[in-house]
Structures are given as structure tokens and as C-alpha cells.
Amino acid sequence: GRRNLVMTRDATQSFPGCEVISCAEDAQRLCQDADALFVIGGAELYRLFLPLANRIELTIIHREFEGDTYFPEISADTWIE
């Protein structure tokens, strides 16, 4: 099965089917034997985990949307399509 971690500053929160963690180090420790780790926003989590990534699954939608969460700029020199 899939292991679901929710990283939050509020340790009193709970989410059905998920483990609550408070820092990136907890995620790394709990997922050290996992084949894959999927980070699903927001922007601060993207910034924390992008330096650890060896693969990005990126979908580009050719349309403008309003939003408040953005993925950091990535360099074409660093990543290969």
C-alpha cells in the first residue's frame, strides 16, 4: 500500500489514513526505504524537497491560472526530459 504523510506545523491535526509529521527530516526517515516519494505542495514543501529529488513528474498546462502556490523555477541544465 501507499504511505501517506502530512507535514504540518500543527501537531494536533489528524487526517484519516495519514501520518502527521512536522519536519522534512521525519519524512526522509520514514520514507528511506520507499521506492518513490511524491511531494504534493505547497510551495514551501516544494522548496524543501526539490534538492533531494532525482526525478520530477511535471505536467505543463498551456493556460494561465490564478493561484497562490507555485513550483520553483527549474533549470533545463539540471533536468532532462
Residue 63, pLDDT score: 96
pLDDT band at 18 (very low <50, low <70, confident <90, very high): very high
**pLDDT tens-place string over residues 19-73:** 999 999 999 999 999 988 889 888 899 999 999 899 998 888 999 999 888 888 8
Which residues are CB-neighbours of 76 under 8 A, at least 6 positions away?
none
Q: Which three cell numbers stand for residue 60?
A: 505543463
pTM (whole model) above 0.95: no
What's the number of CA atoms in the CB half-sphere (13 Å) around residue 57? 5
Domains present along the chain, CATH in parentheses: 1-81 (3.40.430.10)
Angle, vertex CA 11, rays to CA 24 and CA 16, nearest 5:
95
